[in-house]
Amino acid sequence: MIDRITELQAEGEAAIAAATATPALEEARIAYLGRKAELPNLLRGVAQLPPEERGAVGRAANEARKALEAAIEARQSQLASSELEAKLVEDAVDVTLPGSPAWPVGRLHVITAMRREIEDIFLGLGFRVAEGPEIETVYYNFDALNHSPQHPSRLKSDTFYTTEGAVLRTHTSPMQIRAMRAGPPPVYMASAGRCYRRDTPDATHTAMFTQIEGLAVDRGLSLAHLKGTLLGFAREVFGSDREVRLRPHFFPFTEPSVEVDVSCFNCARDGSPCRVCRAEGWVEILGAGMVDPNLFDHVEGYDKEELTGYAWGMGVERIAAARHAVPDIRMLWENDLRFMEQFG
């Protein structure tokens, strides 16, 4: 009987050592120490043995049971730690791998970014930023800006009328009158926003576009102040070695009026035929001038004998197109991501 016990212990130890996973170890436990297993049965039967055998068999069987229990416990903790390790390896997340971009990060539209950049430049030059309505009265859009009743831009073929006496503003210049009416002089104001014209879209026109208006009204302002302001602006946007040039022009609400060109930043860099300025060397960026004194008649408390002012209106799309050498401003509103993602 003692031999059988020794044999059972050896078999059990071998089975325990051979178990490579927790379920296999549990099977070995049931096979050698379970309720129906041979060794526990043997232990239960010790009392029926002849007295002279009882002591030796009982001791041997008990020791075998303890040995097997200890072997199971040791194997259990070995398996637990190797299983944990395997699980950790399997579940490991390599935090250095790039994530999967399920939600692409957005960015500002190139026109929004350009608009904010220009606003920041004028804030830095001491202008405050104002916002105006896109639906404007005929009075603010044309009359108060010195447009004669026959002015062609009033035609329904040129301008979107919403209701009688109201238009989708054709420029941001109405903000000149609104800014002056908002408070006493001096005024240093910049205002950006959308404008609308019944233009047939082409490479340089869209029916909706963005302008930034500027107005300065104070004592003693001259064309030199206008030029200095716009030169400062041009150098911020297009590079510190830019020059500006003023060409005579006509606008109903400025006298004198000018168009302003900035020296081309693109062909200044390389001598090849330039697609930004079309080999002109200059890029037209805005209209400007000295505020026509007639405008002050529309604003209480603004004395045209005392005050002078300068103003400008610039097209944000044209400035962005020049800066990024975009050949056709319609591309800025097509919202083809392959194109838009190049900016910002």
Binding site for ligand DAH (CB under 6 A): 171, 173, 213, 251, 254, 257, 287-289, 311-313
Closest approach, Cβ 316 to ligand DAH, in A, equals: 12
Among residues 39 and 288, whose Cβ is nearest to ligand DAH? 288
Among residues 72 and 217, whose Cβ is nearest to ligand DAH? 217
Dist. CA 46–CA 53, nearest whole Å: 9
Residue with tokens 């859009």, as numbered in its chain: 141
DSSP string computed for 170-203: SSSTHHHHHHHHTSPSPEEEEEEEEEE--PPPBT
Among residues 109 and 197, whose Cβ is nearest to ligand DAH? 197
HSE-CB of 195 using CA atoms within 13 angstroms: 25
Closest approach, Cβ 167 to ligand DAH, in A, equals: 13
Among residues 173 and 308, whose Cβ is nearest to ligand DAH? 173
Residues in the chain: 344
Closest approach, Cβ 95 to ligand DAH, in A, equals: 54
Among residues 5 and 311, whose Cβ is nearest to ligand DAH? 311
Dist. CA 117–CA 237, nearest whole Å: 8
Dist. CA 178–CA 22, nearest whole Å: 82
Helix (H, G, I), strand (E, B) or coil at 23: helix
Closest approach, Cβ 324 to ligand DAH, in A, equals: 22
Among residues 127 and 251, whose Cβ is nearest to ligand DAH? 251
DSSP string computed for 65-108: HHHHHHHHHHHHHHHHHHHHHHHHHHH---TTSPPP-SS-----
Closest approach, Cβ 257 to ligand DAH, in A, equals: 6
Helix (H, G, I), strand (E, B) or coil at 212: strand
Closest approach, Cβ 127 to ligand DAH, in A, equals: 13
Query: Are the C-beta atoms of 176 and 145 separated by less than 8 Å?
Result: yes
Closest approach, Cβ 259 to ligand DAH, in A, equals: 8
Which residue's CB atom is positioned nearest to ligand DAH? 313
Among residues 1 and 231, whose Cβ is nearest to ligand DAH? 231
- Residue 228 pairs in a beta bridge with none
Q: In this structure, what token pair is assigned to residue 313? A: 């209106």
